[in-house]
Structure 1
Amino acid sequence: MKLDKKTYLARIILIVVCFCIAVLCYVRMNQSYDELARYPYVNDDNRDILLKYLDSDDINYMINQQIRPEQFMDFIELDGFEMRNALLYSAAKKAQNSDNQSIINFVNRYRSHFSLKTLPDLLKYYSYIDLITFYETEWVLNENLKLVSDLSDPFVILNSTQTIYKYKPEVVSFQNIFIQQACLEDLKAMCEDYKKVLGKELTFERGYEDYETILNQYNGFKEQYPDYADLYMSTAGQNEMQLGYSIIISGLSQWLIPYLDSLNSSEETAVEFVNLETLEWLMDNSYRYGFVMRFKEDKEEQSGKAYNPYVFRYVGKKNAKKMFKSNLCMEEMEFSSL
């Protein structure tokens, strides 16, 4: 059926009118659409700020993650604010206070090094400055090196991939050394029983040492004995003397230096252990007081260190007894509490 011109024109006009109405409705709907309608924490005080500083992606992320205003409103107006890092800003602020702009800069730059779970632990034990210095220096040189985030664990094992950088534990003084409070009473008991049996004092060469002290010692040791230094000592941050749970019995230097000198010499020279009576008593009895020989003769492959009978580590009586009875080193042990 052929349409007359009037009918044809009327239909075109109707189509145009419908299209215009649809466009108008779409515009009106967009104008009235509330992006924050699904956000239960919006109010008259924060609505304008949220709409000013957040785009649609930010708003959707905020709503989907149910991030509360109190977790990011202190940061939202600052340079570099990213909604996807909002919870990290809040966690950092809570763990270790600093100015808000510095926190944003820190989190944005080093985001790949931590998670929402590990960041509070890191900031419990390390300052922002130490973390920044570590990421900009130590990590740049060795990307496999990771910071130990939970230093409440007394059984932390340090090695070429784990470091505590410049962390300083709280230690107490005993005789001529410093140690963690947790092992003080057992160490005292061991010294008392040692004196009762052998009639002399149990003495120590070293206890807790800080990052700078260990670094100086290591550098000097490495320069003098480049082929053997890493077998008997670890650099700062990776040295367990920095944890405060280790002790070195008197006699190590008197034995080790002549021994290494003999290895460097063209002439074979037998070097005997110094303070042998003390070492033998400790090998048989230290576990009773929660201490174990850290670098045993038959565990060099597991520990990565050469045999050293002068270094003892506190692990608690129950763990030490199990390690002694089963001939285990720390790398093989599943620890229970102290």
Structure 2
Amino acid sequence: MKLKTWHLFLVIIILFGCSFYVVNLHFDKFYRLNGINNDNRVLIEKYLSDDEQEYLIDNQISIDLFIDYIEYDDFQLVNYQYYNLLKETHRYSTITDILETGNSLATRLDYLYRQQAFDQAKVLVHDVLEEAFLNTDNFNFDYIDIYTSLKSLYQENDYSFVQDSEKYILILQEMGYDDLNQISQIMEMLTRAYNQQTLADLMATTLPAGVQMVFAPYELDTLVNQQNYIGKYEPRELLLVQDIPRVSYTMYLQKDAYNALLKLYTDLSKEYKGFLLRSAYQSPQTLDEKEVGYNEMQLGLTIEVTQSELAYQEFENTEMSKWLEEHAYEYGFILRYPQRKASITNHAYDAHIYRYVGKSLAKSLHDSNLTLEEYQLQNEGE
């Protein structure tokens, strides 16, 4: 008996369905994934949930981007980018640490920033701030540059720089610095100059009216006096003075100042005898309490000189003193308190005190007969 047309059609559909079912049983849903093989296919099926497998396929994630983590209990496929970001830093010793930090970052950043979460993670990791972000409640991404500068002063696991940053920003704002970029630049200078404790002391000091804080005391043209305060600043490149006659063995100067003085002394000694270094760097601990922060001897750039076997007050009339006034600038030094400038420097003429400012500025000040105060006033007016 002949089959009717619709019977034939039904048989075809049934056969097609059976064939599709059989083929589907043997279909490898992972075959399009880059790097798939029999070994990692087994791992995927064993450790990834159905939802994670679907996420893997939908996003076509390359196997090598997550396979190293798949056997760990804390592994979450959706966070694989965070894991790799941390792994590339080579700052994490174990995969367990990578997973723990990566999961914490992903959770918190996703809650705060949603679509921008991973971009923010890259910022944190680039600036080595991910742990500070995870361990503080008041982390502010607007302060990233400030955090980066300040954290260099703190111990590795001390994240109090986040809280201190807020405090210092408020103090600078009260001084009239409202622009965050300007505040970031100031903080960069301060952290270059001060350590954690001396910076905290500086920022906690209430200055008298008319006195300003010096942000970059390491600059050669730094002005320190009763109007310019450097707190308990201590230079970082102090050298023990050697091969120069001095009143004390343990005298220090900044590196450039010392090398320049050594050259000056060598040349001066060819014509005059008896050069004597009477004073050099003075630390905050050796100064009178009222002088700390206001005495430029703290800079390690200022020297007091005299001539041995001669009364101190007679030095200004010596040939050695005249030579210094005429030639010190060639070595980067200026007479700090010259004649007829007391009304500007607020200091009487003193032939003993010289200040290292570098050859270029020293020549400029010498040629124009300007004091450091006058030079700074000119710069402020420009």
Same fold (TM over 0.5): yes
C-alpha separation in 1, matches of 2:359 and 2:282: 24
**1:26-59 deviation digits (Å, cap 9, x = unpaired):** xxxxxxxxxxxxxxx999944431254x4xxx88
Q: What's the offset of the Cα at 1:192?
A: 2.8
Query: Greater Rg, structure 1 or structure 2?
Result: 2
2:297 to 241, 252, 255: 241
Q: Show the counterpart of 2:74.
A: none
The letter for the 2-side match of 1:123 is T
Instruction: Confirm whether residue 78 of structure 1 aligns to residue 128 of structure 2.
Output: no
Q: What's the offset of the Cα at 1:60?
A: 11
The letter for the 1-side match of 2:254 is Q
C-alpha separation in 1, matches of 2:119 and 2:203: 32
Instruction: Confirm whether residue 148 of structure 1 aligns to residue 221 of structure 2.
Output: no
1:267-306 to 2 correspondences below 5 Å: 273-274=314-315, 276-277=317-318, 278-306=320-348
SS at match of 1:204: strand
Instruction: Confirm whether residue 171 of structure 1 aligns to residue 238 of structure 2.
Output: yes
C-alpha separation in 2, matches of 1:208 and 1:296: 21
CA contact (8 A) 1:186 1:289 kept: yes
Number of matched pairs: 255
**1:215-243 deviation digits (Å, cap 9, x = unpaired):** 25xx5xxxxxxxxxxxxxxx222211111
CA contact (8 A) 2:231 2:292 kept: yes
Instruction: Confirm whether residue 68 of structure 1 aligns to residue 110 of structure 2.
Output: no
C-alpha separation in 2, matches of 1:77 and 1:147: 34
Instruction: Confirm whether residue 213 of structure 1 aligns to residue 270 of structure 2.
Output: no
1:1-338 to 2 correspondences below 5 Å: 45=103, 46-52=105-111, 54=112, 68-70=123-125, 72-83=129-140, 86-87=143-144, 88-94=146-152, 96-113=154-171, 115-136=183-204, 139-142=205-208, 145-169=211-235, 170-172=237-239, 173-174=241-242, 175=244, 176=246, 177-198=251-272, 200-215=273-288, 235-250=291-306, 273-274=314-315, 276-277=317-318, 278-333=320-375
Q: What's the offset of the Cα at 1:113?
A: 3.8
Taking only the aligned residue pairs, the percentage that are identical comes to 22
Q: What's the offset of the Cα at 1:189?
A: 3.0
Alpha-carbon distance change, 300 to 255 in structure 1, aligned in 2, over 3 angstroms: farther
RMSD of aligned alpha carbons: 3.7
C-alpha separation in 2, matches of 1:60 and 1:243: 50
SS at match of 2:130: coil
Alpha-carbon distance change, 132 to 144 in structure 1, aligned in 2, over 3 angstroms: farther
Unaligned runs of 5+ in 2: 1-80, 84-101, 173-182
SS at match of 1:99: coil
Q: What's the offset of the Cα at 1:81?
A: 1.4
C-alpha separation in 2, matches of 1:119 and 1:283: 38
CA contact (8 A) 1:180 1:245 kept: yes
Alpha-carbon distance change, 316 to 109 in structure 1, aligned in 2, over 3 angstroms: closer
Alpha-carbon distance change, 48 to 185 in structure 1, aligned in 2, over 3 angstroms: closer
CA contact (8 A) 2:132 2:159 kept: yes
C-alpha separation in 2, matches of 1:76 and 1:65: 11
**1:119-170 deviation digits (Å, cap 9, x = unpaired):** 233222212222222222xx22436544433344211111234222222222
Q: What's the offset of the Cα at 1:328?
A: 1.3
C-alpha separation in 1, matches of 2:160 and 2:230: 23
Q: What's the offset of the Cα at 1:213?
A: 1.2
C-alpha separation in 2, matches of 1:180 and 1:117: 24
Alpha-carbon distance change, 287 to 108 in structure 1, aligned in 2, over 3 angstroms: closer
C-alpha separation in 2, matches of 1:141 and 1:83: 29
TM-score (norm 2): 0.56
Q: What's the offset of the Cα at 1:190?
A: 2.4
The letter for the 2-side match of 1:213 is T
CA contact (8 A) 2:277 2:305 kept: yes
Unaligned runs of 5+ in 1: 1-40, 220-234, 257-271
CA contact (8 A) 1:303 1:331 kept: yes
C-alpha separation in 2, matches of 1:283 and 1:86: 48
Alpha-carbon distance change, 120 to 96 in structure 1, aligned in 2, over 3 angstroms: farther
